[in-house]
A and B are shown apart, each in its own frame.
Chain A
Amino acid sequence: MSEPAEVWITGIGLATSLGEGLDANWDALNQRRINVDEKTFAPYIVHPWAQVNLDAQIPKKGDQRQMEAWQRIGTYAAGLALDSAGVKGNKEILGRMDMIVAAGGGERDLAVDCNILSLEAKGNSAPGFLNERLMNDLRPTLFLAQLSNLLAGNIAIVHGVTGSSRTFMGEEAAGVDAARIALARIAAGQSDIALIGGSHNGERKDLLVLYEFGDFNLKGKYAPVWARQAHAGFALGSAGAFLVIESKAHAQARGAKPYARLTNVVADLARRERPGAVTATLERLWSKLGKLEGKGAIITGATGAEPATSEERTFLGEHRDFAVRASGTMFGHTVETQFPLGIGLAALSISRGALFPPNDPTGLEVEMSTPPSQIVVVGAGHWRGEGMALVEAIK
């Protein structure tokens, strides 16, 4: 086997609750500005998407209409990433660019659901009642806005990324694996350049129901991730986060400037019924990342859900020479998107020569005064799946 190819992050696209683009997000992080809505979904808390001019990345209104919010957010952020990498509209590169999207599913039509439940409660239980309502009430193209792989499909249609199109599902772990597989393929020479990422619309009552089944939603009053021990849970966030990653040789050949190197991505599935399994798994993944020099940083997607967050806190306690930031504090929990978002924030921090400031009354997050050269991105899912990435400065 030849030496694995070095892989660079050459494009970052962020469209989050803090704004669109790298400057808006960076400024908000540095000002510790959080966009949180405690009222619209009360008692539930969400981080609403900062509205943008969709036309800037999705020029055709017809395309916008064919999508639900999660697809618009993702397609928009993917466009930002392609712009950032300088490959937007470059048909030659886009036609062979690989794509791995981490996705959940789309919004339901809440009115249709509730009407059916209401009619059923009033005694409408005739055979075919449900069929008749669904046939009449569902928008024919709604399905396409719900299908997991149609975010990738829309990115292909709107931006022309067609080398390949793969969609990974499975909550937080999907985002880890999208990065892991894309990196492995480029490192092994199976691919030269890839678009990876995800999007999430947290302003959805159907999603709140799903997480409420497990009592995972943060309720009442917002608190930073590390300050939720008395009231565990997460506030869903809305964000799209996409990255362009490519081999160093490919980037240099086209004169692309890197934000950072994506050195390694590792993942596992802890058997969480055993107390301490998450801590032990994170420790094992840490040891597989490669040489860590200390005095680095950790950007974690810790959710605030228990017991995973407490187990992660124990792990972090063993690595106090790394300054910690919880992306969930600033952006909310964006599930499949949290890990690509973390990689994007890590690459951005490295390229700006500073880690953004802590935002944590508990003191777990501390100031970091030196430019970070190594940032470990951590993703332990609220329910399952653990992953880590090592993002490094290119010296």
Chain B
Amino acid sequence: MAAPRDKFGRPIVVVTGMGVVTSLGAGKADNWKKLTAGESGIRTITRFATDGLKTTMAGTVDFVPVEPFSSTDLSERLADIATEEAIAEAGIGSKGDFPGPLFLAVAPVEVEWPQRMELGRALGGDAQFDYDALLRVSGGGRFAQYHRRFMFGSVADHLAETFGTKGSPISLSTACASGASAIQLGVEAIRRGEADAALCVATDGSVNPEALVRFSLLSALSTHNDPPQGAVRPFAKNRDGFVMAEGAGALVLESLEAATARGAKILGIVAGCGELADSFHRTRSSPDGKPIIGCVRNALSDAGLVPEQIDYINAHGTGTPENDKMEYLGISTVFGEHASQIPVSSNKSMVGHTLSAAGAVEAIFSLLTLEHQRIPPTINYDVPDPAIPFDVVPNKARDARVTAVMSNSFGFGGQNAVLILTREPV
């Protein structure tokens, strides 16, 4: 029998395992239940004092204890949890021996404030506080663990060792499109025939004071602090920014041939991936929408589908005035009249913006939408924006026939990535 190939003659890439953790909970079952019930995971921040901050809520994952806290440690723990679930579901390889490469979407790593303050305290109270002084106390092995912790490759190293992935693990960042890019790298490796399986993980545990302040200073965050559950309002007229959130998603990708040969259950197909960078501005999309339009078209073309074959769009839908407007422009341009009929909802209305993890978390929710034939809603949609006449699946989940989903991810730095996920090979 000929190897199962897509219409372009490439190996078909399937998903055989998924794991997810968000502010809604750990695991696919819990997340899906709450997501389709329209529950919000956004809460008032208790991890650190929020005095003086304009935004005091986030989609934190507080049920995974990390002490002393660092975002990199939490990212690592979340990635562990999601990956364990995905590999267990796939039933692939043996414990600690995953038969393929790792592609990890992870936030840029840096020394964080608890550790920097520990260093400061090593100087003593009367010291002159400059980096020369900090340098004098940094060496000698006392803080050796922070070298290992704050290497950019440290989370991928840990996952590679724990799960026994093969070859050089790749840590990547395409900002808020990172999760989708990790999946795209896995798809490409399988299509090239380099690997029969790939582990694609995306994780983000970024809710710390400096990260929050950074986004706040760029006026990107919602300040609808009370009630926090009502903060993220994608596509609504009264949307005022995104809400930072934490989470992780992990997917086991395989060639259809390899998955079938070992009798694995196939959860869905990654039919196409598209990307296109925007050269307009560091944080804003080109006003003509061309890069987003081109990216969506690239994904459709990679999947060999036309817009009419997509029957649900899992939007990037951050809830910033800018993103949602540009996403509408992009989708309506490509989809034409079909754009007003197709359901377009934002998971971020409930889980918040999981940043580096979002592309993978939302790909998993898209695959669950295909599996359950049920579309999660866009919550907090009480004041429609007449400039964005999408069917956003307002406030309540909806049963629907869904055969192909488009999942969008856009990020700072002109990053655009779009995935097409289907139930059956196309």
Chain B residues with CB below 8 A from A174, complex form = 152-153, 171
- Residue of A127, A166, A386 near B172 (CB, 8 A) is A166
**B130-183 interface (Cβ within 8 A of A):** 130-132, 134-135, 138-141, 143-148, 150-153, 156-157, 160-161, 167-175, 181
Question: Are A212 and B282 in contact, CB atoms less than 8 angstroms apart?
Answer: no
Per the bound structure, the CA–CA distance linking A78 and B147 in Å amounts to 30
Interface-facing stretch out of A6-14, A31-39, A46-54, A139-147: A139-147
- Residue of B127, B160, B174 near A121 (CB, 8 A) is B127
Chain A residues with CB below 8 A from B213, complex form = 131, 134-135, 138
Question: Are B52 and A131 in contact, CB atoms less than 8 angstroms apart?
Answer: yes
Question: Are A135 and B277 in contact, CB atoms less than 8 angstroms apart?
Answer: no
- Residue of A127, A128, A157, A176 near B279 (CB, 8 A) is A157
Interface-facing stretch out of A16-24, A109-117, A248-256: A109-117
Question: Are A147 and B168 in contact, CB atoms less than 8 angstroms apart?
Answer: no
Interface-facing stretch out of B75-83, B372-380, B406-414: B406-414
**B348-388 interface (Cβ within 8 A of A):** none
Q: How far is the CB of A90 from chain B (nearest CB, A)?
A: 14
Per the bound structure, the CA–CA distance linking A117 and B147 in Å amounts to 20
Q: How far is the CB of A393 from chain B (nearest CB, A)?
A: 27
Chain B residues with CB below 8 A from A367, complex form = none
Known interface pairs A114-B129, A169-B106. Does A147 touch B279 (Cβ–Cβ under 8 Å)?
A: no
Per the bound structure, the CA–CA distance linking A110 and B132 in Å amounts to 11
Tell yes or no: A292 within 8 A of B by CB.
Answer: no
Residue of B nearest to A167 (CB): B173
Tell yes or no: B110 within 8 A of A by CB.
Answer: yes
Q: How many residues of A are in contact with the other chain, CB < 8 A?
A: 84
Per the bound structure, the CA–CA distance linking A142 and B54 in Å amounts to 19
- Residue of A44, A113, A120, A149 near B174 (CB, 8 A) is A149
Chain A residues with CB below 8 A from B414, complex form = 153, 156-157, 162, 165
Chain A residues with CB below 8 A from B130, complex form = 110, 114
Residue of A nearest to B127 (CB): A121
Chain B residues with CB below 8 A from A394, complex form = none
Question: Are A1 and B152 in contact, CB atoms less than 8 angstroms apart?
Answer: no
Chain A residues with CB below 8 A from B131, complex form = 110, 113-114, 205-206, 208-209
Question: Are A104 and B152 in contact, CB atoms less than 8 angstroms apart?
Answer: yes
Chain B residues with CB below 8 A from A130, complex form = 113, 209
Chain A residues with CB below 8 A from B116, complex form = 113, 117
Tell yes or no: A312 within 8 A of B by CB.
Answer: no
Per the bound structure, the CA–CA distance linking A275 and B3 in Å amounts to 42
Question: Are A131 and B50 in contact, CB atoms less than 8 angstroms apart?
Answer: yes
Interface-facing stretch out of B15-23, B185-193, B224-232, B339-347: B185-193
Tell yes or no: B95 within 8 A of A by CB.
Answer: no
Question: Are B170 and A162 in contact, CB atoms less than 8 angstroms apart?
Answer: no
Tell yes or no: A180 within 8 A of B by CB.
Answer: yes
Known interface pairs A143-B217, A156-B278. Does A167 touch B174 (Cβ–Cβ under 8 Å)?
A: yes
Question: Are B120 and A210 in contact, CB atoms less than 8 angstroms apart?
Answer: no
Tell yes or no: A30 within 8 A of B by CB.
Answer: no
Per the bound structure, the CA–CA distance linking A146 and B218 in Å amounts to 14
**A344-395 interface (Cβ within 8 A of B):** 383-387
Q: Which 8 A-B pairs have the closest CB atoms?
A: A128-B51, A153-B413, A170-B153, A214-B147, A127-B49, A267-B168, A117-B120, A205-B131
A-B contact pairs, 12 of them (CB 8 A): A1-B193, A104-B108, A117-B116, A118-B129, A126-B51, A138-B214, A149-B173, A153-B412, A169-B173, A171-B151, A213-B146, A384-B151
List B residues at the A interface (Cβ < 8 Å). 49-54, 106, 108-111, 113, 116-117, 119-121, 123-125, 127, 129-132, 134-135, 138-141, 143-148, 150-153, 156-157, 160-161, 167-175, 181, 185, 188-189, 191-194, 209-210, 213-218, 275-283, 291, 411-415
> A115-B129, A138-B213 known; 19 other A-B pairs, CB under 8 Å?
A1-B193, A117-B134, A121-B129, A128-B53, A130-B209, A131-B52, A148-B108, A149-B411, A153-B415, A156-B277, A156-B279, A160-B279, A163-B277, A165-B414, A170-B153, A184-B192, A184-B194, A188-B192, A213-B145
